[in-house]
Amino acid sequence: MAPRALAATLDTLPPPVLPLVEADAAGPAQLRDLYRMLSNVRQLDAAAVAWQRQGLIPGYAPMLGQEAAQVGAGAAVDTTRDFVFPTYREMGVAYTVGVNMVDYMSTHKAIWHGGLYDAVATHFAPFQAVVGGSVLHAVGWAHGQTLNAASAAETALGVGLAFLGDGASSQGDVHEAMNFAAILRAPVVFFVQNNGWAISVPTEQQVAGGSVAARAAGYGIPAVRVDGNDVLAVLSATQRAVAHARAGLGPVVVEAMTYRRGPHSTSDDPGRYRTLDDEKIDGGEDPLSRFRSMLLAGNVADAASFAEVDAQAQQQADEIRDGVVALSSRPGSEMFDFVFQESTPTLGAQARQWREESEHV
């Protein structure tokens, strides 16, 4: 079999009405910046796996192999007006859009489920553990932008980016989301990382028909299926999708064909369901080396500059580690504080009892 990333592409997204503001052909600075992000994300991901082995965090869901998909998608987001709805594996997107990574990692340290980062300020919704759980939120949020624009007589819309996996595409909610989005003409981009696996189940046993992008046509939604290990291809496809949605033309499905090179999570054992040979063939060339080769070929960067960036990334990962080590538990009282905006007498009494019995005050 060929690497997954080379799967037949599909592109039904019409050309932009207005030329894209972001140039399709990225300049050298942007290319180097993309590499910097890829490298940082790679190092941080490897670091987080190590932290788990060291007992610093109880678990982690690695995104090894999905760096190009996540950095490419994240780089197309305008965080002043768009909003990202991640799953539990979008560390690379979080990094790229500027989420504080110590606060992000707090969820993996089991400190706070949604993460300690400020979702509103960063336009990056809380960490989501329900597969497919937040896809509809993106639709609702995006429809809100349409309503806002209507009353403000604006034309450029904020875009909701719903992240989902190949496995998530099986959930009824994802279907409802695509149908609602198309009916409401909501400015949403459904960004599917088809990484070949949902834990132990390969895409072939998951996605009947073989492609989430191919389903878009059934809703009258344009779609792009793209090599998810080519950061520039992902960036450009996402930019086009965002521009389409921003212009009020409705939702778009982007399916980035990539590969989950690591285990599903730090408690998974892929050896039970796939061989190392499979991994090698299906995974194809590492997205970072591919991008490095490209930059080298284009004389945009050289080995020394890569080494420098990689070293900086390593250092940044170390700093984040320090931050994660320093993260302390949240006080138990916060269990009660954040249930409601306006607490209730019952909850107040429970909080008091908890204080007396557990804090002995």
Partner 1 sequence: MSNALQNDTLESDRELASTPLVQLSMQQAINRALGEILEADDRALIFGEDVGLLGGVFRVTDGLQQRFGANRVFDTPLAESGILGTAIGLAMAGFHPIPEIQFDGFAYPAVNQIITQLARMNYRSRGTLPMPVTLRVPSFGGIRAPEHHGESLESLFAHVPGLKVVSPSNPQQAYHLLKHAASMPDPVIFMEPKARYWNKADVNLTDNRTGGAVDSASVEGSVIARPGKHATLIAWGAMVSRCLQVAELAAEDGIELEVLDLRWLKPIDEAGLAASVSRTRRAIVVHEGPHTAGLGAEVAALVSQSCFDSLRAPVERVTGFDVPYPSGDLEDEYIPNIDRILFGVQRVLEYRRG
Distances in Å between the Cα of 63 and the Cα atoms of 45, 204, 266, 325 are 7, 21, 11, 21
Residue number, 24 or 356, with CB nearest to partner 1? 356
Which residues partner with 84 through β-bridges? Answer: 124, 161
- Which residue from 18, 208, 281, 339 is in contact with its own copies, where contact means CB under 8 A? 208
State the first-to-last Cα distance of the chain, in angstroms, to the nearest integer.
65
3-state secondary structure of 289: helix
Least distance (Å) between residue 307 CB and partner 1:
36
234, burial (CB in 10 Å: exposed 0-12, middle 13-18, buried 19+) = buried
- Which residue from 44, 76, 136, 198 is in contact with ligand TPP, where contact means CB under 6 A? 198
Q: Which of residues 181-200 bind its own copies (CB under 8 A)?
A: 181-183
Contact status, residue 145 vs residue 185, Cβ threshold 8 Å: no
- Which residue from 4, 240, 244, 260 is in contact with ligand TPP, where contact means CB under 6 A? 260
Q: Which stretch binds partner 1 (CB under 8 A): 43-51, 277-285, 315-323, 344-352?
A: 344-352
Residue 325 interacting with partner 1 (CB under 8 A): no
Contact status, residue 241 vs residue 73, Cβ threshold 8 Å: no
Q: Which of residues 73-132 bind partner 1 (CB under 8 A)?
A: 83, 88, 107, 109-114, 116, 118-120, 125-127, 129-131
Residue 19 token pair: 């030329």
98, burial (CB in 10 Å: exposed 0-12, middle 13-18, buried 19+) = middle
Q: Which of residues 83-102 bind ligand TPP (CB under 6 A)?
A: 89
Least distance (Å) between residue 94 CB and Mg ion:
18
Residue 204 token pair: 């072939």
Least distance (Å) between residue 54 CB and partner 1:
16
CB within 8 Å of 241: residues ≥ 6 apart: 13, 76, 189, 191, 224, 252, 254
- Which residue from 28, 218, 271, 332 is in contact with its own copies, where contact means CB under 8 A? 218
Residue 347 interacting with partner 1 (CB under 8 A): yes
Which amino acid belongs to residue 296?
Answer: L
Residue number, 97 or 139, with CB nearest to partner 1? 139
- Which residue from 149, 156, 214, 294 is in contact with its own copies, where contact means CB under 8 A? 214
Least distance (Å) between residue 134 CB and Mg ion:
16
Tally of CB atoms within 10 A around 152: 8
List residues near its own copies by CB under 8 A. Answer: 170-176, 178-179, 181-183, 205-210, 214-221
List residues near ligand TPP by CB under 6 A. Answer: 89, 129-131, 165-168, 195, 197-199, 260, 264
